[in-house]
Chain A
């Protein structure tokens, strides 16, 4: 791929330069990344395609991600229609502790604490270690979701010793992590090893050094 000679004009940034979040967005404000609400449900505009067939009304074809259910819907808006803005915030918060069914996180900037349910944390609960920085999403200041970093480093609490002579890397076995989850790891992994784990697939990536 040949490199660009020059970057193209930056007028998009001029048009979208407003700082304050308005209470409603007109179609002309529509762009990827906008947070809107429909019937009280917050959505993230993940795609926006401007179309203008012939001499007709401009159409704004949007893919909207439901921030509570994580489903994506297609919606087409005609020029002049509006969507209500959603007070959605995303910030870094560290996991503090679990209290009964609640997972408690703290905003790293203002130290405000947020409780998320087991359902909101999902399968990642078994990989949550105290002090881990995650991204918290709130709607009207209520937490609605948490996104862990793509990789976490966790210590193996227990691994069956490898059968003698069996050092093949394509043989896997279940190992239990310090946070309680069990994953498949190669046969050479021992109790006390540190592993890098992919939080999107919950799969072993590699053996690594202890975090500093």
Chain B
């Protein structure tokens, strides 16, 4: 990291804090290590012997704060994910995560776009549904295309739709995203909703109120209109753990404290976003690799 990047990093962090402070957000600091964690299918946490897990995101504890009536909150958090290493990945990275009660998916995308415009001076982001993006780049409707068609397009004989869609997204859809203005991809398949609420779209298909922001070839942020129902969340986490077993990964303990708080007093309807701060800095300074912007 050069001294110019070091200074730009500090400046960008100050700007992020100002952005959220101007909008009435409270900055919070949640534990980096805990015995509980939110199980996700494709995220492997590091175990910290005697302490639990290094947290893969601040989501679990931030949502507990939302349940407790924190109002809009943001956190700048170090996150840890085992095995993630590449030009855009390091096992330890900095995440900016925020939640604002009352926001739906559109408002959530709006706030994220506003942040990006203020931080990088970008034009208004284009909003493209997951279906539109696949129709444009692969020529299929990802929600209704038969399995055989997905296999043919991906050139792989897998019987897992989400795995095939993931391959097609990586090979054909992502390279075309956000090459001009930043692009927001939204309405993911319901099977890829993770912790997002679901809705019925204009073609009567159940989709996830989940969105991702792409800019300059970089996947920058993931957001949800959040799932607030603890019963459904418990089911989804159980499915995630089953999937982990199928993929040969250890199952993970459930976030019981969060599930309890979502039951009573309950979680306010809100939108939340996790943005990779190192990647934001990469875009700000024109870096090719995440290694250029961290020490």
Contacts and interface: CB of A to CB of B under 8 A. Distances in A.
Interface of A: 2-9, 11-12, 15, 28, 49-59, 76, 78-80
Contacts of B136: none
A57 B170 CA distance: 10
B212 interface: yes
A4 to B, nearest CB: 6
Interface stretch (B69-77, B83-91, B102-110, B114-122): B83-91
Contacts of A11: 91
B96 to A, nearest CB: 18
Interface of B: 1-4, 6, 40-43, 83-89, 91, 162-163, 165-167, 169-171, 174, 188, 192, 194, 212, 219, 222, 247-248, 291, 294-295
The A interface, classified by DSSP as helix, strand, loop or mixed, is: loop
A57 B158 CA distance: 13
Given A8-B291, A78-B163, A49 B1 contact: no
B91 A8 contact: no
Contact of A5 (B42, B169, B291, B295): B295
Contacts of B91: 11
B169 A52 contact: no
A55 B240 CA distance: 12
A80 B1 contact: no
Given A5-B6, A6-B1, A80-B248, A49 B222 contact: no
Contacts of A9: 294-295
Contacts of A58: 42, 83-84
Which 10 residue pairs spanning A and B have beta carbons closest together? A50-B86, A56-B166, A2-B2, A53-B170, A53-B169, A28-B83, A6-B295, A55-B194, A8-B291, A8-B295
A54 B214 CA distance: 10
